[in-house]
Amino acid sequence: MPAVRTSFYLVPETQARLRLAAQQLGRSQTELVNEALETFLRDRPGAEPRSIGAGANGAMGAAEVKRWAREQMARRAAPARPKSRR
């Protein structure tokens, strides 16, 4: 996929750490920023799943897949409940 030029500001300390990490890893700063953003956007609560693997065999219709996906995303976004001692 072709890259699109984007500008943003970093605080000096973050930019220095990014420069050092790129040097140590032998990678470009652009590669590290792209990797970090992809990880953040993929893993953040409420992120859309790329594929849910449901519906391919026709067992679930579009409405059922949509409901199932929303339930799964809500479970991920919900804070963990402490286990009760019994």
How far apart CA 61 and CA 66 sit, in angstroms, is 9
Q: What is the pTM of this model?
A: 0.52
Residue 36 domain flag? yes
Domain count, the chain: 1
Confidence of residue 46 (pLDDT cuts 50, 70, 90): confident
Confidence of residue 5 (pLDDT cuts 50, 70, 90): very high
Residue 85 domain flag? no
Q: Which sign does the torsion angle of CA 7, 12, 13, 17 carry?
A: positive
> E strands along the chain, which residues?
none
**77 or 36, higher pLDDT:** 36
- Helix, strand, coil % in the chain, rounded to nearest 5: 50, 0, 50
Residue 3 domain flag? no
Pair of tokens at residue 66 = 């949509």
Residue 4 domain flag? no
Residue 84 domain flag? no
